[in-house]
Amino acid sequence: MSEYQPPLEDIDFALNQVTDLASVAKLEGFQHADPDTVRDILAEAGRFFSEVIAPLNRVGDRQGSRLTEDGVVVTPDGFKDAYHKFVESGWGAAHIPEEYGGGGLPYTVGIVLQEMFKTANMAFSLCPMLTQAAIEALIRHGDDTQRGLYLEKLVTGEWTGTMCLTEPHAGSDVGALSTRAERQPDGTYRLFGQKIFITWGDHDLTDNVIHLVLARTPGSAPGTKGISMFLVPKVLVEADGSLGRRNDLRVVSLEHKLGIHASPTCVISFGDAGEGAVGYLIGEEQRGMRYMFTMMNTARIGVGIEGLAMGERAYQLALGYARERRQGRPVGGDPTVQSPIIEHPDVRRMLLTMRSYNEAMRRLLYVVARHVDFERRAETAEERERHGKVVALLTPVTKAWCTDLGVELSSIGIQVHGGMGYVEETGAAQHYRDARIAPIYEGTNGIQAIDLVLRKLPLDEGRVVHGFIAEMRSVAEPLATVDSKAAARLTEALDALAASTDWLLGRLAGGSYNDALAGATPYLTQFGTVTGGWLMARSLLAAHRMLEAGEGDARFLRSKISSASFYLDQLLPRANGLVPAVTAGAEPLMSLPAGDF
């Protein structure tokens, strides 16, 4: 089985020729993140993740994390040592602001580091991802005492963080949660209740785990409006920062999952001993859902990376197999010699589908990250607001489109292997099993589609989405100078997307919400596919420009043109066929009575 090799050449091309990393490096505080410096950083990071983290991927899948009889969660062989090396290297804090002990790199660079980690070992990467989300929540909403006691150790990775939302009776409907928090005379709270699906809820990698828990205080409003957020450490922390006694919380069980076996998904009970788990209110009471979305939106982009990660890992494995596996003979080939299956057109179709989608996802994720950096650090409030609205528009697309593709591409990877892909020893099945959780994580992809249509399309009365479509249109004219057919396909796809957008906005304006909701998922797929086409068009233009200028490696640049041309010719047109599904309305979905299914 081939191991992971970070695609540093395409990463560099995507960062500098499509994303424009140089413009990010001009933002205040990012002057040290020039392209040459970032290139050296990523080369070293790629070595670390491929050599230290990637070899544990199969070990983690086979062994899994386990819960001992005395309630201790034990991770697979090698994970603890690798985590300590990860912490020592500082990769987990590379994009955290320097004032909090991080490396101060742009989020755009942090996204690349996350991509490498997740592709090397998705199950392992989930722990630092959630810690980073907890760090961001504390930076933005915690008080000075909380930041002073917890932030440094979370940034260094000495401690890890979690999100505790879901309960047995309250999954996507977070407002139905019932965990309660009772205020004490000393200002602390005592929490009672049970949370499920807590990713890396406990482990043996660090001495403490900091849980950010959603709960209700007495007399709070019903639904999501009455939810508060609490910091609940596994081990209580004294005023001087030292560890005290164990808090009143315990791991009841670990879930037995389809994939990501190395990631301990915990059922955690708070307050079983009777005294209640000690918690500290973050911010104000009944503002917890707003605070949680600070973590959630960061995590949603992070989960989007998992789609790319599984697609890339599956592609590398399938490509290696296709080069080595000899079966059949291509048309016109020597009838006495079996050829590598990569010579067969249909295998090439599958590999190019994987490759092109991966490149499109990579560019989307990096472009979204660039907008995040500008949202945080652009000079004027007007610029920051403008970039923030683009981030809001693209976040549900990034999360859902990329994770759906991660499942599709890892499935294609199995197909490339043929019957051997269905055998666990090849490793192809693990990527498919691991990828399947990502469309469910951090708000299912159906919820992302609802968010896109109900909340993001109406931003500024539709001006944000129409402005983004107009930006994508601006590529068609220069594209026509190098590939008129591709330019026509992009224009056709943008026209179809604009028509779908107008139809949905019209239904929302008329109060026909079920019609809009019925078309939400196909619309998100259409939006992602067209956005990918826009970015691959930019990739194609950049490769042509560099070839004409005599810059870069000609063979590599021609491969970028091939990937982009394949996407624009064979994958982008799929978006046009989604218009009827987007605009069909609710009647086809609602006409069959529930009892007749």
Active site residues: 442
Residue 475 to residue 487: CA distance in whole angstroms: 8
Give the side-chain half-sphere CA count within 13 A for 9. Answer: 10
d(CA 347, CA 341): 7
Residue carrying the six token digits 């940034």: 155
d(CA 206, CA 208): 6
Q: Apex CA 471: angle with CA 378 and CA 567, to 5°?
A: 115
The full DSSP string for 352-382 is HHHHHHHHHHHHHHHHHHHHHHHHHH-SSHH
Ramachandran quadrant class, 28 (left: phi over 0; alpha: psi -120 to 50; beta: rest)? beta
Secondary element (H or E) of residue 129: helix 122-141
Pairing of strands 227-233, 235-237: unpaired
Q: DSSP secondary structure string, 429-457?
A: HHHHHHHTTTTTTTS-HHHHHHIIIIIIT
Report the distance separating Cα 576 and Cα 574, nearest Å. Answer: 6
Look up tokens 């932030």; give the residue.
151
Strand partners for 161:
210
Q: How far is CA 168 from the centre of its chain?
A: 25
Alpha carbon distance 396, 534 (integer Å): 18
List strand residue ranges (DSSP E) for 282-323, in order. none
Residues shown for the chain: 597
Give the angle subtended at the CA of 66 by the CAs of 313 and 45, to the nearest 5°: 35
- CB atoms closer than 10 angstroms to residue 380: 8
Number of helices (H) and strands (E), helices first, in the chain? Answer: 22, 12
CA 110 to chain centre: 12
Residues 6+ apart with CB under 8 A from 92: 86, 128, 131, 132, 157
Looking at the DSSP bridge assignments, the partners of residue 267 are 253
Q: What's the half-sphere exposure (Cβ side, CA atoms, 13 Å) at 511?
A: 0
* Alpha carbon distance 173, 107 (integer Å): 30
CA dist., res. 84 & res. 158, Å (int): 9
Q: How remote is the C-alpha of 571 from its chain's centroid?
A: 22
Rg (CA), the chain: 24
Q: Cα–Cα distance between 557 and 547 in angstroms, integer?
A: 7
The residue type of 159 is W
Give the H/E segment covering residue 476.
helix 476-480
Dihedral sign from CA coordinates of 552, 347, 535, 30? negative
